[in-house]
Amino acid sequence: MTPDEILQTMYDQTLVGNAPAVLDLTHQALELQMAPSSLLFDSLIPALEEVGARFERGDYFVPEMLIAGRAMAGSMAVLRPLLAETGVQTVGKFVMGTVKGDVHDIGKNLVNIMLEGAGFEVIDLGVQVAPEKFISAIEEHRPDIVGFSAFLTTTMPMFKANLNALVKSGLRDEVIVMVGGAPVTQEYADAVGADGYAADASATVKRAKQLLEQRRALVPA
Amino acid sequence: MTEFTSEIRETVLRSATKEVVIARNRPFCIIGERINPTGRRIFQEQLRAGDLSAIDRDVAAQVAGGANVLDINMGVPLTDEADLLVRAIQRVQDLTDLPVCIDSSVLEALEAGLRVYQGRALVNSVTAEDERLAAVLPLVKKYDAAVIALPNDEEEIPMGADRRIELVAKIVEVATTEYGIPIEDIVIDPLAMPIGADTGVVVTTMETARRIRDTWGLNLTCGASNVSFGMPARHVLNATYLPMAMAHGMTSAIMDARTPAVVESVRAADLLLGNDEWGGSWIASHRAKQAAAAAVP
């Protein structure tokens, strides 16, 4: 296969969630000395973008999103160290977690897949994440965005607790805060002082990119 | 506890005037899921503005669809959930004599709802978390209600049946011995997860349900529509899932009571599982449909 054929085939196979094929193509590409960043930006990310677009149109369903994400993740496990070596910047860094008191994670995991699919580096702290744990993860990883997920009306108030902890530790202005989860609304996100809200996984990606652009436009280069 | 029990447990729910019994030798108890603002933007805005009138349509549609009990959830962020829940319960009780399932994770709302409810409610829900058990079960006892319990704890939503069964054992132990709640008033939700997120989850739910039925004979319920989340043709999945769950011991479900295909599938399973004697209800509903069709000019 030529490099162009590899990129195209990898795109097609990611789109249908064929993880073994995508992994195999990754190795083939590297043997041909193709740039890891090209695989990421010319094949994997466009494939996951298409997955998101199809999902939004109602042409793609949850399992298809999951297997496409898994196919990409398999390739990324090989590419990530190489990308780091060559100093390729990720789209952004995202620390994610389900808030304290809440053990629900299906929606959050879908969001992670779509964020990784868009080229974000996602650090998932899991469920039952206490404010202190978010703070120490933010200090350690210095993410662009932190995401709080809650599935219950009783755990949503943890958004505010987390935001208070951010303010107290002097990190509030260092990081963009996004919130989401089944009962969460834009009004609620505004009321607790979050920077962004999105209703589903593919909307989260769009909103995250938008918020990043706004933030980067503010910061003098 | 591993011995088999064939005992039939009766969970009795009441409105001011009507009694509904959940038991495995009775027709399946359909708990209508619709009075819930989650994911309903317009309804949320109305509720925030104090307008509860949309509930009237939801009640009518679910009663017409064949619901036996109505779930009421008023979980709208940035509102006084207790106040909304009280008004919703009173509104529903003015409109129908079906018993109610009071659905909130906010304690004050649960208590306020239980206080004004006329009859014997089903509380939705408690988990196996120590804090939740200690907070919710006294209310269940105080107001003589029945309660739905979910086998998840502080750590996780267990993905395997074994851990769920352990947590059910804990719930039963705590509820019956520490709070004096009769075992028949505990209705377990064995956790119905989306099949789209993991193709094995429904098999686990079935196994969990069967083992709970065989071990304690408890009544079971679930959020049936969760199963089809993120998938196409949700009605078909819901209508197929429910009879399968029923065959494994599910005796009620919080479900779509407005889609005829889903409700009919449940009633067909009632007949097939021996809970509709001589097919009386099945045949009667067929005649009613014929009559309705004939009445259309």
CA distances B124 to B93, B140, B146, B147, Å, are 18, 10, 9, 6
Considering only CB atoms, B38 lies closest to which of A105, A183, A187, namely A183
Which two tokens mark A212? 């990043």
Considering only CB atoms, A187 lies closest to which of B77, B81, B105, namely B77
Strand partners, A148: A97, A179
Q: In this predicted model, what pLDDT tens digit does every residue of B232-259 receive, in sequence order?
A: 999 999 999 999 999 999 999 999 999 9
Q: For B190, what's the count of Cα atoms within 13 Å in the CB-facing half-sphere?
A: 27
Residues A22 and A39 in one domain: yes
Give the nearest chain A residue to B234 (CA atoms): A61
CB pairs under 8 A between A and B: 59
CB contact (8 A) between residue A128 and residue B75? no
**B199: domain range?**
11-295
Which two tokens mark B119? 């009859």
By the 8 A CB rule, do A123 and A141 touch?
yes
In chain B, what residues touch A105 (CB-CB under 8 Å)? 157
Å from A94 to nearest chain B CA?
A: 22
Residues A44 and A113 in one domain: no
Averaged pLDDT for residues A162-183:
96
Averaged pLDDT for residues A80-100:
91
Residues A76 and A107 in one domain: no
Helix runs in chain A, H state only: 3-15, 19-31, 36-39, 45-57, 62-85, 106-117, 131-141, 158-168, 186-192, 201-218
Considering only CB atoms, A62 lies closest to which of B154, B157, B230, namely B230
In a domain, B4, yes or no: no
Å from A176 to nearest chain B CA?
A: 22
Averaged pLDDT for residues B164-179:
98
Residues A163 and A189 in one domain: yes
Return phi, psi of residue B149, to 5°: -125, 135
Task: State the total domains in chain B.
Answer: 1
Averaged pLDDT for residues B145-159:
94
By the 8 A CB rule, do A99 and A158 touch?
yes
CB contact (8 A) between residue A66 and residue B193? no
Torsion of Cα atoms, B109 then B47 then A128 then A174, to 10°: -130
User: What type of residue sits at position B95?
Assistant: L
Identify the pLDDT of residue B6: 75
Using a CB–CB cut-off of 8 Å, the residues of A that contact B are 61-63, 66, 103-106, 109-110, 127-128, 152-154, 156, 182-185, 187-188, 191
Q: In this predicted model, what pLDDT tens digit does every residue of A44-55 receive, in sequence order?
A: 999 999 999 999
Which two tokens mark B82? 């207790």
* Sheet of A196-197, strands arranged across: A120-124, A92-98, A145-149, A176-180, A196-197
Helix runs in chain B, H state only: 41-48, 54-65, 81-95, 107-116, 130-142, 161-173, 201-216, 234-247, 260-272, 280-295
Cis peptide before B125 (omega within 30 of 0): yes
In chain A, what residues touch B154 (CB-CB under 8 Å)? 103, 128
Residues A65 and A32 in one domain: yes
Å from A13 to nearest chain B CA?
A: 20
> Is B38 near chain A, with CB under 8 Å?
yes
Percent of the residues in chain B that have a pLDDT greater than 90, as a whole number: 94
Torsion of Cα atoms, B159 then B128 then B27 then B285, to 10°: -70
**A123: domain range?**
92-218
User: What type of residue sits at position A154?
Assistant: T
Residues A81 and A114 in one domain: no
Give the CA diameter of chain A. 56
Strands B19-22 and B11-14, sheet pairing: antiparallel
Confidence of residue A220 (pLDDT cuts 50, 70, 90): low
Q: In this predicted model, what pLDDT tens digit does every residue of B107-119 receive, in sequence order?
A: 999 999 999 999 9
Identify the pLDDT of residue B239: 98
Considering only CB atoms, B78 lies closest to which of A152, A154, A188, namely A188
Strand partners, A97: A148
User: What type of residue sits at position B24?
Assistant: R
Task: State the total domains in chain A.
Answer: 2
Considering only CB atoms, A104 lies closest to which of B81, B157, B229, namely B157
Q: For chain B, how many helices (H) and strands (E)?
A: 10, 10
Identify the pLDDT of residue A221: 53
Task: Look at residues B72, B88, B93 and name the one whose alpha carbon lies nearest to residue B16.
Answer: B93
Domain end among A47, A68, A85: A85
Q: Which residues contact A68 (CB under 8 A, 6 or more apart)?
A: A14, A15, A16, A17, A47, A48, A51, A113, A117
Domain end among A85, A110, A145: A85
CB contact (8 A) between residue B77 and residue A106? no
Confidence of residue B4 (pLDDT cuts 50, 70, 90): low
- Where residue A129 sits, what CATH number does that domain have? 3.40.50.280
CB contact (8 A) between residue B78 and residue A183? no
In a domain, B39, yes or no: yes
Residues A63 and A97 in one domain: no
CA distances B80 to A138, A190, B49, B101, B123, Å, are 34, 18, 11, 19, 19
| Statement: residue B168 has pLDDT above 50 | yes
ipTM of the complex: 0.86
| Statement: residue B90 has pLDDT above 70 | yes
> Is B135 near chain A, with CB under 8 Å?
no
Q: In this predicted model, what pLDDT tens digit does every residue of B111-140 receive, in sequence order?
A: 999 999 999 999 999 999 999 999 999 999
In chain B, what residues touch A194 (CB-CB under 8 Å)? none
| Statement: residue A219 has pLDDT above 80 | no
CB contact (8 A) between residue B81 and residue A154? no
Residues A35 and A124 in one domain: no
In a domain, B76, yes or no: yes
Averaged pLDDT for residues A137-141:
97
Q: B275-286: b or e for each residue (b if 16 or more CB lie within 10 Å)?
A: bbeeeeeeeebe
CA distances B21 to A35, B14, B252, Å, are 67, 9, 10
Residues A103 and A191 in one domain: yes
User: What type of residue sits at position A173?
Assistant: D
Identify the pLDDT of residue A108: 95
Q: In this predicted model, what pLDDT tens digit does every residue of B29-78 receive, in sequence order?
A: 999 999 999 989 999 999 999 999 999 999 999 999 999 999 999 999 88
User: Which region holds residue A113: left if phi is over 0, alpha if psi is between -120 and 50, else beta?
Assistant: alpha
Percent of the residues in chain A that have a pLDDT greater than 90, as a whole number: 89
In a domain, B160, yes or no: yes
Burial of B83 (0-12, 13-18, 19+ CB in 10 A): middle
Considering only CB atoms, B152 lies closest to which of A103, A188, A191, namely A103
Torsion of Cα atoms, B92 then B93 then B99 then B104, to 10°: 50
> Is B180 near chain A, with CB under 8 Å?
no
Residues A146 and A37 in one domain: no
By the 8 A CB rule, do A122 and A97 touch?
no
Domain end among A85, A107, A126: A85
- Where residue B247 sits, what CATH number does that domain have? 3.20.20.20
CB contact (8 A) between residue B78 and residue A187? yes
> Is B104 near chain A, with CB under 8 Å?
yes
Residues A131 and A209 in one domain: yes
Averaged pLDDT for residues A108-122:
93
Identify the pLDDT of residue B121: 98
In chain A, what residues touch B79 (CB-CB under 8 Å)? none
Residues A200 and A124 in one domain: yes
Sign of CA dihedral B197, B198, B204, B206: positive
| Statement: residue B227 has pLDDT above 50 | yes
Confidence of residue B1 (pLDDT cuts 50, 70, 90): very low
| Statement: residue A90 has pLDDT above 90 | no
For tokens 């206490």, the residue is A130
First to last CA, chain B: 60
Identify the pLDDT of residue B225: 96
In a domain, B200, yes or no: yes
- Where residue A9 sits, what CATH number does that domain have? 1.10.1240.10
